[in-house]
Chains A and B, each alone.
Chain A
């Protein structure tokens, strides 16, 4: 059983389209995250949710809208896709939201905007 899963694994789309990436964790964790990894492999936090509540929003354009329907799911919807949105997006989860908590990452979704 995959602990943190993401769908789709690959996403190729045109500029201006709207797309969603889904994330699910079966670890019973309270906290979930979205990270963006750029072409140079630099990773940056985008959002964090704790018990379905948004707790971190790191100056991400408002074209990006996370939604957490329940504690096990955190989806990412992106409107009006731009070339610069091309990246690998990782979902992660942790038991709690403390500084020492280990995060468990999904396999990533590679988004390519043409």
Chain B
């Protein structure tokens, strides 16, 4: 079945550091890929998405590129802020319906 694997957290960075959160997937079809973010005490918000190979999703300085050859969708940001502290979820949708299969989430902690 479908699955998503994310790097274990927490990831601890200083403000303005470079961020990479790795995400790889297995899927039987041609999935759409997503990054969702969950701030403390809140629901999930879409951060970015890509729907086909080589697409790059971007939002709020975050980027991720859909790499079919490596089945990856790594999240990057050039300079993190304290306000980026949250849990980040990689997810895919692949079954003809839009139900999401999530990774286990990666907590990001950014200190001033």
Contact = CB atoms under 8 A, between A and B. Distances in A.
B43 A97 contact: no
Contacts of B87: 41
A57 B95 CA distance: 13
A99 B96 contact: yes
B97 A48 contact: yes
Interface in B17-73: 31-32, 34, 36, 38, 42-46, 49, 51
B105 A100 contact: no
Contacts of A92: 44
B102 A43 contact: yes
A99 B89 CA distance: 17
Contacts of A41: 38, 87, 104-105
A100 B104 contact: no
Contact of B99 (A33, A96, A100, A102): A33
Given A40-B104, A103-B46, A45 B99 contact: yes
A111 B80 CA distance: 33
B43 A99 contact: no
Nearest to B99: A45
B76 to A, nearest CB: 21
21 contacts: A4-B43, A41-B87, A41-B104, A41-B105, A42-B105, A48-B97, A48-B98, A55-B97, A56-B97, A56-B99, A92-B44, A99-B51, A100-B32, A100-B51, A101-B93, A103-B46, A103-B98, A104-B46, A105-B43, A105-B45, A106-B43
